[in-house]
């Protein structure tokens, strides 16, 4: 390939979302918007299908379909992306162990009538894996900043809607979805419950999700993007803008009055400070002013911190700790592969417990091997971006740092509730993991056929990190 | 496009892919059949089950069913006691005898306190231990009782629909005989007797007809997929093992200059390209 062809290749590679005609990035943007703004697991299209017809399944099917059609009809590739070796290892290992856990327990699963539930959860897991793979293969480095901005904008809207829900009891996400989807889908009623009598327990503030913890998780996973964008903003005006967005997102997480609303953002902030102390310290004065203003204007915002001492909160903690001894018989009877992925059906309360810890849930369902694979799934993106986390390359460093911190937030949230029971946070996590994969990849014009498994070399990584 | 390139690589290694398909087929068969070595045998796993149900009405000799003057509270309480009794080993032994099924092959559970909060319904470690012990039973009985009704619901599960129906019908019959025997022994006056009636006959049907095919397909797809994924890095590893590995600069017969070596040589160039992209943007 000569210099002219190379230039042509680069020009073509400049085609990046949102200035692109490629359909997949637009579908990703639409999917992200639906995660943050629609109660996707409460919208049931009026069609009869062999699988649970929730909105996210249709989105995933559409994305997979467009990707396959693009693969068949697409022209010659001008840019190739060399991803780090093992970028999908965690996901593949977890998928294999999930299926293995079902296969080895299949007699018992069918005997106990758990196959239907397991089948549905497995289908969701395959959907998640497909999303992760397609986003990782499709996203371009030049698109990462634009998607970072999109995540912050969407999270800010979600936080504003959640704050409004707390103040008025009106869930704009469910109400809008009910009206918009009325002709084609049924929408479950909003789970919002706000009792004016504060002593009657915690209110149920859920935003676009089914549970307050779920909305807290997605806001916390989006928070590092707002902070990182504020940290790298070239002007004070922009810094204030992104800082305000970060404050709104934190407020949105706190108003759910869940302990996780304080714990997960705190971990995110700690991780960011640990990784880029100099840049983040520049934001400290803004943070102090924001906290002081919040105390002055709306001290109720920090009610989730007061939650630590409430009686129902203590009961929740006691419920979590009682899970540990209760699942010992199951762990001992199936230590390696667990009882089978997706068999923990919390609707059968006479048999199973709601485990407020995803790690516990995974070791219960897929055994010790499955738990290791699940941990690998969470840690792999962090491992991949370690070389670009501190990079000053504006296309790679900031998105990698934010996505890495977002993945860490997911890892923390997994210890606080059964996160895979709600679709938003897992989808967002895998999108962030795909951003990590993309940020750590190397893009090059295609001169000659390149091996699929060719990783970026150590030299390339070093140059990438210092570029 | 990467999927197209992947398919090309797999096509070049189609013999190994075919071997993988054979391995996947074997794994799929093992998921639905049990392999015996001494003596060699292939036994189908019991992955398909049937279920049936019946209902027991706890009544008075002059049926309270159609008489509004009867106070049902006593019958409600009696039904609740019977539901608990039916899940006990003594009752299961009677049911097993009635149905002609070995006692140890039956697991009975219930009734469950459905009105309690979930946290209180969740089983403790001790309860789970006994539940786990009974999970392997081929015949299962579950009893349910609504505290406000003098009715016990019986849900039975067995490998065959006829067996499930027999088991569901055996529970009311066994309870009827047991109560009647006690009443005879104690010479209970007629007006104070409890009568156990079965409401209708039990019918059974297969629940998970396609389960074997589904799990076999799933196992086949995952094993074959994993095999194919392993083929691609295996090629690089094999090349490195043979000594013609990364960076040797030897030309390849298929036109590619060697994956790893190629990646290493081209990476700085790729970085420059990336930088140029930024400038173009």
Asked if A442 and B275 come within 8 Å (Cβ–Cβ), the reply is: no
pLDDT reported for residue A325? 84
What global pTM score does this model have?
A: 0.83
Instruction: Report percent pLDDT > 70 for chain A.
Output: 84
Asked if B218 and A99 come within 8 Å (Cβ–Cβ), the reply is: yes
Which of B211, B219, B280 minimises the CB distance to A10?
B280
pLDDT reported for residue B263? 38
pLDDT reported for residue A170? 94
Choices 3.30.1890, 1.10.472, 2.60.40, 3.40.50: CATH for B50-206 = 3.30.1890
pLDDT reported for residue A367? 95
**pLDDT tens track for A350-374:** 777 788 899 999 999 999 999 999 9
Task: Respond yes or no on whether the N-terminal peptide bond of residue B111 is cis (omega within 30° of 0).
Answer: yes
What's the structural domain count of chain A? 1
pLDDT reported for residue B121? 74
The CA–CA distances, whole Å, from A171 to A35, A114, A393 equal 15, 34, 40
A261-265, A278-282, B251-255: range with highest mean pLDDT: A261-265
Instruction: Tell me: pLDDT of A466 over 60.
Output: no
The CA–CA distances, whole Å, from A114 to A102, A340, B155 equal 10, 9, 16
Confidence of residue A463 (pLDDT cuts 50, 70, 90): low
Which of B5, B45, B211 minimises the CB distance to A452?
B5
pLDDT reported for residue A35? 96
pLDDT reported for residue A309? 61
Rg of chain B in Å (alpha carbons): 33
* Triad A56, A21, A77: Cα angle to 5°: 100
Please choose, from the candidates A264, A275, A306, A312, the residue with its C-alpha nearest in 3D space to the C-alpha of residue A400.
A275
Asked if B277 and A14 come within 8 Å (Cβ–Cβ), the reply is: yes
pLDDT reported for residue B169? 92
Instruction: Tell me: pLDDT of A228 over 90.
Output: yes
pLDDT reported for residue B63? 73
pLDDT reported for residue A387? 86
The alpha helices in A169-276, defined as continuous H runs, are 172-181, 212-232, 236-254, 260-275
pLDDT reported for residue A461? 53
Q: For residues B179-211, b (16+ Cβ closer than 10 Å) or e, as one string?
A: beeebeeeeeeeeeebbbebeeebebeebbeeb
- Best to test chain A binding among B267, B269, B276 (most A CBs inside 10 Å): B267
Rounded to an integer, what distance in angstroms lies between the CA atom of residue A283 and that of residue A266?
Answer: 15
pLDDT reported for residue A50? 65
- Cα torsion through A278, A281, A282, A287, rounded to 10: 160
**pLDDT tens track for A168-198:** 999 999 999 999 999 899 999 999 988 766 5
Are B231 and B17 in contact by the 8 Å Cβ rule? The answer is yes
Phi/psi for B230 (5° steps) reads: -75, -25
**pLDDT tens track for A104-130:** 998 888 888 888 889 889 989 999 999
Beta bridge partners of B196: B58
Rounded to an integer, what distance in angstroms lies between the CA atom of residue A129 and that of residue A120?
Answer: 14
Please choose, from the candidates A213, A223, A235, A234, the residue with its C-alpha nearest in 3D space to the C-alpha of residue A287.
A223
| Residue predicted with more confidence, A442 or A377 | A377
The list of chain B residues with pLDDT below 70 reads 1-2, 46, 114-115, 118-119, 235-237, 240, 242-281
Please choose, from the candidates A59, A157, A131, A165, the residue with its C-alpha nearest in 3D space to the C-alpha of residue A433.
A131
Contact residues on chain A for B277, CB-CB shorter than 8 A:
10, 13-14, 141-142, 443
Which of B3, B132, B274 minimises the CB distance to A329?
B132
**pLDDT tens track for A9-49:** 445 556 888 988 889 999 999 999 999 999 999 998 888 77
Q: Could you list the residue range(s) of the whole structural domain that residue A308 is in?
A: 3-466
| Residue predicted with more confidence, A152 or B261 | A152
Which residues in chain B are classed under CATH 3.30.1890? 50-206
**pLDDT tens track for A391-408:** 888 899 999 999 999 999
Contact residues on chain B for A74, CB-CB shorter than 8 A:
1
């Amino acid at each position: 390939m000569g210099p002219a062809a190379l230039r042509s290749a680069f020009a073509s590679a400049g085609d990046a979302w949102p200035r692109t005609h490629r359909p997949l990035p637009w579908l990703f943007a639409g999917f992200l918007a639906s995660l943050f703004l629609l109660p996707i697991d409460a919208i049931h299209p009026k069609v009869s299908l062999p699988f649970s017809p929730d909105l996210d399944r249709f989105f995933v099917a559409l994305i997979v379909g467009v990707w396959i059609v693009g693969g068949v009809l697409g022209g010659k590739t001008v840019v190739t992306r060399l991803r780090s070796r093992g970028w999908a290892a965690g996901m593949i290992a977890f998928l294999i162990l999930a299926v293995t856990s079902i296969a080895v327990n299949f007699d018992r699963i069918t005997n106990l009538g758990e196959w239907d539930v397991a089948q549905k959860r497995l289908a969701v897991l395959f959907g998640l894996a497909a999303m992760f793979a397609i986003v990782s293969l499709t996203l371009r480095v030049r698109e990462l900043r634009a998607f970072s901005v999109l995540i912050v904008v969407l999270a800010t809207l979600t936080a504003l809607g959640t704050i409004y829900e707390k103040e008025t009891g009106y869930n704009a996400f469910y109400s809008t979805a009910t009206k918009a989807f009325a002709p084609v889908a049924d929408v479950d009623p909003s789970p919002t419950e706000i009792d004016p009598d504060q002593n009657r327990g915690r209110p149920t503030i859920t935003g676009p999700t089914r549970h307050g913890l779920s909305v807290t998780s997605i806001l916390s996973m989006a928070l590092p993007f707002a902070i990182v964008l504020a940290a790298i903003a070239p002007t004070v005006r922009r810094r204030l803008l992104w800082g305000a967005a970060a404050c709104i997102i934190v407020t949105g997480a706190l108003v759910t009055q869940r302990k996780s609303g304080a714990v997960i953002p705190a971990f995110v902030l700690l991780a960011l400070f640990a990784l880029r102390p100099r840049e983040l310290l520049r934001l400290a004065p803004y943070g102090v002013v924001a906290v002081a203003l919040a105390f002055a204007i709306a001290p109720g915002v920090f009610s989730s911190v007061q939650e630590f001492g409430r009686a129902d909160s203590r009961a929740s903690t006691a419920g979590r700790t009682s899970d540990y001894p209760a699942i010992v018989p199951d762990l001992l009877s199936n230590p390696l592969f667990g009882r089978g992925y997706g068999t923990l059906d919390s609707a059968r309360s006479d048999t199973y417990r709601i485990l407020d810890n995803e790690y516990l849930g995974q070791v219960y369902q897929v055994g010790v091997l499955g738990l290791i694979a699940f941990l690998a799934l969470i840690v792999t993106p962090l491992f991949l971006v370690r070389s670009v986390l501190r990079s000053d390359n504006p296309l790679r460093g900031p998105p990698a740092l934010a996505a890495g911190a977002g993945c860490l937030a997911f890892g923390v949230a997994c210890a606080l509730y059964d996160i895979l029971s709600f679709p938003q946070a897992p989808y967002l996590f895998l999108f962030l993991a795909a951003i990590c994969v993309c940020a750590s990849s190397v893009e090059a014009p295609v001169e000659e056929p390149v091996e699929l498994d060719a990783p970026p070399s150590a030299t390339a990584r070093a140059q990438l990190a210092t570029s | 496009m990467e999927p197209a390139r992947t398919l090309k690589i797999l096509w070049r290694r189609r013999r190994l892919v075919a071997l993988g398909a054979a391995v996947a087929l074997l794994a799929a068969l093992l998921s639905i059949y049990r392999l015996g070595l001494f003596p060699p045998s292939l036994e189908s796993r019991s992955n398909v089950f049937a279920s049936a149900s019946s209902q027991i009405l706890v009544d008075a000799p002059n049926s309270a069913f159609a008489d509004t003057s009867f106070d049902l509270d006593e019958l409600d309480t009696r039904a609740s006691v019977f539901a608990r009794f039916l899940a006990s080993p003594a009752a299961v032994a009677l049911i097993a005898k009635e149905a002609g099924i070995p006692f140890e092959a039956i697991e009975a559970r219930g009734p469950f306190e459905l009105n309690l909060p979930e946290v209180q319904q969740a089983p403790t470690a001790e309860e789970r231990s006994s539940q786990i012990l009974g999970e392997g039973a081929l015949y299962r009985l579950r009893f349910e009782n609504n505290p406000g009704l003098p009715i016990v619901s019986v849900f039975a599960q067995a490998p065959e629909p006829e067996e499930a129906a027999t088991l569901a019908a055996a529970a009311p019959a066994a309870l009827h005989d047991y109560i009647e025997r006690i009443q005879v022994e104690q010479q209970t006056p007629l007006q104070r007797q409890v009568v156990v009636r079965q409401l209708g006959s039990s019918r059974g049907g297969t629940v998970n007809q396609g389960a074997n095919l589904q799990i076999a397909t799933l196992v086949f797809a995952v094993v074959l997929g994993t095999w194919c994924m392993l083929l691609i890095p295996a090629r690089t590893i094999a090349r490195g093992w043979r000594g013609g590995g990364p960076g040797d600069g030897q030309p390849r017969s298929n036109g590619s200059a060697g994956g790893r070596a190629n990646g290493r040589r081209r990476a700085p160039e790729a970085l420059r390209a990336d930088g140029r992209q930024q400038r173009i943007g």
